[in-house]
């Protein structure tokens, strides 16, 4: 089908100008005749002037203007409905995107908090390990020092024990000698008396 001119060929230029001016002045007219020429179909939004070329009365400006205005309004309404539907879909998508961004932000915050908690725990564990290592080293040195002192004391005690033992043995020898001497002297004195 060939594309029709937006202007009706049965109207003279003056009538076409009047129709356009009236459309601009009254774009929201809602009344139009249901049929043209006794049963002609209503113009469709795709071709609002279809069927008007067969009007018997070219001077019937009112019907023509109402038809054009109604067709234009119908096109505008359909276009507005499509725009509104697209707007609602975009609004839903925007809400979904906003919700997804919020969830992503919350997840990022949770990960950041968990990361900070793990870093603190690792730092504390490292400090404790360092402290434990230092404490272990100090305790080891203390035990080694105590062992050395104990060994030194044991060695000193052993030496003192040996010296004391020798002294006691010497004292015992002296006592035995003294007892023998006393007994010998006593026996000698008794023998002299006899």
**Is 76 inside a domain boundary?**
yes
Distance CA 69, CA 123 (A): 78
| Residue 32 lies inside a defined structural domain of this protein | yes
Q: Over the stretch 77-89, which tens digit does the pLDDT of each residue have? A: 888 888 999 999 9
Report the distance separating Cα 31 and Cα 11, nearest Å. 21
User: What is the domain range of residue 83?
Assistant: 13-106
Which tokens is 70 given?
């109604």
How many domains in the chain?
1
In a domain, 45, yes or no: yes
Residue 8 within a domain:
no
pLDDT in tens, 40-49: 444 444 454 4
Q: For 54-68, how does the pLDDT look when each residue is reduced to its tens digit (9 = 90+)?
A: 445 555 566 777 777
- Per residue in 5-25, pLDDT (tens digit) is 444 445 556 666 666 665 555
Band of the pLDDT at 31, cuts 50, 70, 90?
A: very low
Domain membership flag for residue 125: no
pLDDT of residue 151: 92
Which two tokens mark 121? 């725990």
Q: What is the mean pLDDT of residues 84-107?
A: 93
Judge contact between 37 and 55, C-beta under 8 A.
yes
pLDDT of residue 20: 61
Is the dihedral angle over the CA atoms 148, 152, 155, 161 positive or is it negative?
negative
Q: Is 32 within 8 Å of 66 (Cβ atoms)?
A: yes
- Range 135-143 contact pairs with CB under 8 angstroms and sequence separation of 24 or more: none
132-184 pLDDT tens trace: 999 999 999 999 999 999 999 999 989 888 999 999 999 998 888 888 888 88
Phi and psi (nearest 5°) for 36? Answer: -115, 140
Residue 122 pLDDT: 94
Report yes or no on 40 lying in a domain.
yes
- Verdict on whether the full-model pTM lies above 0.75: no
Residue 109 — very low, low, confident or very high, per pLDDT cuts 50/70/90? very high
Read off the pLDDT band of 103 (50, 70, 90). Answer: very high
Alpha-carbon span 108 to 114, nearest angstrom: 10
Cα dihedral sign, 7-36-30-83:
negative
């Amino acid at each position: 089908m060939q594309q029709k001119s937006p202007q009706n060929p049965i109207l003279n230029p003056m009538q076409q100008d009047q129709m356009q001016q009236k459309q601009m002045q009254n774009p929201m007219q809602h009344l139009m005749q249901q049929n043209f020429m006794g049963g002609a179909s209503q113009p469709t939004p795709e071709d609002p002037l279809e069927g008007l070329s067969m009007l018997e009365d070219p001077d019937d400006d009112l019907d023509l203007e109402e038809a054009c205005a109604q067709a234009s309004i119908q096109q505008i309404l359909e276009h507005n409905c499509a725009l509104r539907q697209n707007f609602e879909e975009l609004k839903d998508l925007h809400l979904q995107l906003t919700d997804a961004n919020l969830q992503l932000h919350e997840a990022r915050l949770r990960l950041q908090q968990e990361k900070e908690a793990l870093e603190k725990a690792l730092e504390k564990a490292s400090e404790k390990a360092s402290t434990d290592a230092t404490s272990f080293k100090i305790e080891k040195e203390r035990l080694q020092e105590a062992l050395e002192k104990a060994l030194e004391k044991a060695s000193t005690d052993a030496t003192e024990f040996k010296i004391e033992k020798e002294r006691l043995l010497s004292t015992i020898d002296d006592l035995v000698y003294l007892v023998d001497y006393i007994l010998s002297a006593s026996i000698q004195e008794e023998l002299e008396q006899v």
